[in-house]
Structure 1
Amino acid sequence: MTPLDVDDLVAIDMHTHAQVSLEGRNSLPDEIEEASAAYFKVERKRYPNAADMAGYYRERKMACVIFPVDAEAATGAPAVPNEEVAEVAAANPDVLIPFASIDPAKGRFGAREARRLVERFGVRGFKFHPSVQGFFPNDRSAYPMYEAIEELGVPALFHTGQTGIGAGAPGGAGIRLKYSNPLLIDDVAADFPGLPIIMAHPSFPWQDEALAVANHKPLVYIDLSGWSPKYFPPQLVQYANTLLKDKMLFGSDFPMITPDRWLADFEKLDIKPEVRPKILKGNAARLLGLVKD
């Protein structure tokens, strides 16, 4: 299989989920999964595995960052294995960019795992979901893992804002939104100044906080996944067009939101013509080291 060719791509989707293993096992408990599917209005039976996603994105001439979410300590459900995602990505290097996920509850073992996954499996970044994993991003117990990721020179991607995971289930399935305030990421960015950080999603109800952190910290980016662009708040669009035009990243949240839907709505958004290619591909390619600065 040919390697990824940035020039040949329409876009780079920075946020997609390995939700189902190759053997068909879902990675979230039924209660949470059913509520989330209802929230996003998707059919669970249609969730693709990593190999399916390679074909899906190849058809669209896009690449995508793909990751599982390891929240086993909080949910009791094992994630799709990081090794499986990385191996499928290695077999499809023209379209899949593997990120891993390690539950911060694993402490120093997690730091060793991060090094192993990058050095042996070619993982290109790490995904954290504070609300689902049940931790504050600035909790010192997670710092050994951040230190390892910073040393490895790959990005850390954090869910921010409200989550659709568990939305509508009794008590939100026990998932707490407080963990995903983007101001908590500011501490991580200050304490690890060499760590590239991606704050995922428009950060409702803390959009202004997210914009402030990304504007203040040089290596903090925002991916625009999880919402249709037609619902973006005005200040997010304003900053995308101006001060943060080099820090905004296209992301869909597939399979919850398809890239087709996201891109169709993005076409109607009031984004400057010279900024569009940055958001769709250029900023991601630079962040991931796919092109030279």
Structure 2
Amino acid sequence: MKYDLLQEAVFAGLPLPDCPIVDVHAHFGPATPFPLYDASEEGLQASMDRMGVAALYGSPFQVLCQQYAAAANDYTLELVRRYPGRIFGYLMLNPAEPAAILPELQRCHAAGLRAIKIHTYDSLPYSHPNYEQVFAFAAEYGLPILAHTAGEELRQLESALLRFPQVCFILAHAGCLDPAAYAECAQYFPNVCLETCVSQCPRGLIEFFVNRGLSDRMLWGTDMPLICAGHQLGRVVFADISLEDKYRILYRNAHRILPFPLPAGR
């Protein structure tokens, strides 16, 4: 069996050659509710170096507790300043405090954050009117939104996908439930991208989306350190898809979609 150069690098235990991977879904910070092997900044960097991850977009673990949004954003800004050009941050908000949403958006945008993360965990559904100012701000300033999606969350977003076509909505954990629903959503809405990380990793999920013509709308993510980054990389590197599609998923699409200059590759 002949392996491509990405697969050969993995077998050799080397970072992927000429493939500056972009992880669009990671987490960091000390406030984790989960028993993780290594959630430190050093552990994050070491994992990136082993695989050849050039840059990542992440948010603190407080994304699960949105009442701490301002403190979480402060931590993100500090980390982004310490690792310029390598770690980029999503700003997060508490939709249950509508009066605080716009000031926090303005503060974090002025400080340099250029992407938003939303999550309904222990909070309001995406269809709630409090999200309107989030979507409108993203539309005005061209900020992509990473939206945690599973089950009802996908349906709750549909109105915003239609009304804010200029916003790139990145659907986190695409295919974790009902892969066909994610594929149909991305095929119908041109402003939707699919982020790849899922914990159960059903075989053939990457191929499922690529075979539906969506390779230019897929973004690689890990959810690390909650999920092993190497596991998520293997799902793409060893998928039965073309080498060009692997490059699209691992970094080329991110270069096109995300608002920061990223390292060049093949």
TM-score normalised by L of structure 2: 0.81
- Structure 1's 146 and 260: CA in aligned 2 closer, same or farther, altered over 3 A? same
- Distance in 2 (alpha carbons) for counterparts of 1:17 and 1:232: 26
Residue 218 of structure 1: aligned partner: 190
* Equivalent AA in structure 1 for residue 157 of structure 2: I
- Distance in 2 (alpha carbons) for counterparts of 1:88 and 1:282: 25
Q: Does 1:86 align with 2:77?
A: yes
Alignment counterpart, residue 249 of structure 1, candidates 219, 223, 234: 219
Paired residues for 1:65-214 under 5 Å: 65-68=57-60, 69-72=62-65, 81-120=72-111, 122-130=112-120, 132-161=121-150, 178=152, 180=153, 182-214=154-186
Residue 12 of structure 2: aligned partner: none
- Distance in 1 (alpha carbons) for counterparts of 2:178 and 2:125: 15
Query: What secondary structure is seen at the aligned counterpart in 2 of 1:269?
Result: coil
Instruction: Report if the CA contact (8 A) 1:224-1:250 is conserved.
Output: yes
Deviations 1:59-101 (A, max 9, x none): 533111111243436xx77786212112212221232111121
Deviations 1:218-262 (A, max 9, x none): 1110100123655344xx623324421110111111012222122
Query: What secondary structure is seen at the aligned counterpart in 2 of 1:255?
Result: coil
Query: What secondary structure is seen at the aligned counterpart in 2 of 1:14?
Result: strand
- Distance in 2 (alpha carbons) for counterparts of 1:79 and 1:115: 12
Residue 3 of structure 1: aligned partner: none
- Structure 1's 218 and 83: CA in aligned 2 closer, same or farther, altered over 3 A? same
- Distance in 2 (alpha carbons) for counterparts of 1:142 and 1:88: 26
- How far apart are residue 290 of structure 1 and its match? 4.3
Instruction: Report if the CA contact (8 A) 1:230-1:265 is conserved.
Output: no
CA RMSD of aligned residues (A): 2.6
| Aligned pairs, number | 244
Query: What secondary structure is seen at the aligned counterpart in 2 of 1:231?
Result: coil
Residue 255 of structure 2: aligned partner: 285
- Structure 1's 242 and 213: CA in aligned 2 closer, same or farther, altered over 3 A? closer
- How far apart are residue 45 of structure 1 and its match? 4.7
- Distance in 2 (alpha carbons) for counterparts of 1:92 and 1:220: 29
Query: What secondary structure is seen at the aligned counterpart in 2 of 1:246?
Result: helix
Residue 40 of structure 1: aligned partner: none
Instruction: Report if the CA contact (8 A) 1:16-1:255 is conserved.
Output: yes
Residue 61 of structure 1: aligned partner: 52
- Distance in 1 (alpha carbons) for counterparts of 2:146 and 2:88: 13
The gaps in structure 1 that reach 5 residues or longer are 1-6, 34-43, 162-176
Deviations 1:142-187 (A, max 9, x none): 10121112212111111111xxxxxxxxxxxxxxx64x2x122221
Instruction: Report if the CA contact (8 A) 1:248-1:283 is conserved.
Output: yes
- Distance in 2 (alpha carbons) for counterparts of 1:94 and 1:228: 31
- Distance in 2 (alpha carbons) for counterparts of 1:102 and 1:137: 13
TM-score normalised by L of structure 1: 0.74
Instruction: Report if the CA contact (8 A) 1:159-1:200 is conserved.
Output: yes
- Distance in 2 (alpha carbons) for counterparts of 1:125 and 1:95: 15
- Distance in 2 (alpha carbons) for counterparts of 1:16 and 1:289: 17
